[in-house]
């Protein structure tokens, strides 16, 4: 069964450092997403990406965040200057566009120290 792959599974970084979280979506999907879940809280939408541009973003997705699809297969989330409150599980997802075609990756646990 096709799956969304995320790397690394766990990233520890110092406050103020840049991190890049990587995702390989399902190959024939057209819509790509990043979500995050702070420990003990619900899964929150960050950004959606379609046709090589951001289609929607949340209030969380400020100027410190950016996304890129550099080579047609990878989909990355960059946090330029990490803060302690960025510590969370970050989930990548891709979708074919239909209501039940949303597949999540296993997540990257980001710990900012």
Segment interacting with another protein (CB under 8 A) among 14-22, 52-60, 61-69, 78-86: 52-60
Least distance in Å: CB of 73 to another protein?
Answer: 19
DSSP per-residue codes, 35-86 = EEE-TTS--EEEEEEETTEEEEE-TT--TTEEEE--SSS-EEEEESS--GGG
Q: Which of 8, 18, 56, 73 binds another protein (CB under 8 A)?
A: 56
Q: Residue 92: name the closest of 29, 17, 16 by CA.
A: 29
Binding site for another protein (CB under 8 A): 4, 6, 31, 33, 35, 41-45, 48, 50, 55-56, 58, 91, 93, 95, 97, 99-100, 102-107, 109
């Amino acid at each position: 069964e096709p799956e969304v792959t995320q790397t690394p599974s766990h990233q520890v970084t110092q406050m103020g450092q840049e991190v890049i979280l990587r995702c390989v979506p399902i190959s024939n999907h057209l819509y790509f997403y990043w979500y995050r879940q702070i420990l003990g809280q619900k899964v929150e939408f960050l950004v959606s990406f379609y046709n090589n541009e951001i289609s929607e973003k949340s209030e969380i997705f400020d100027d410190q965040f950016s996304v890129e699809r550099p080579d047609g297969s990878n989909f990355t989330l960059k946090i330029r200057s990490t803060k302690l409150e960025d510590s969370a599980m970050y989930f990548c997802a891709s979708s074919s566009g239909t209501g039940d075609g949303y597949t999540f990756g296993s997540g990257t646990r980001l710990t900012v120290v």
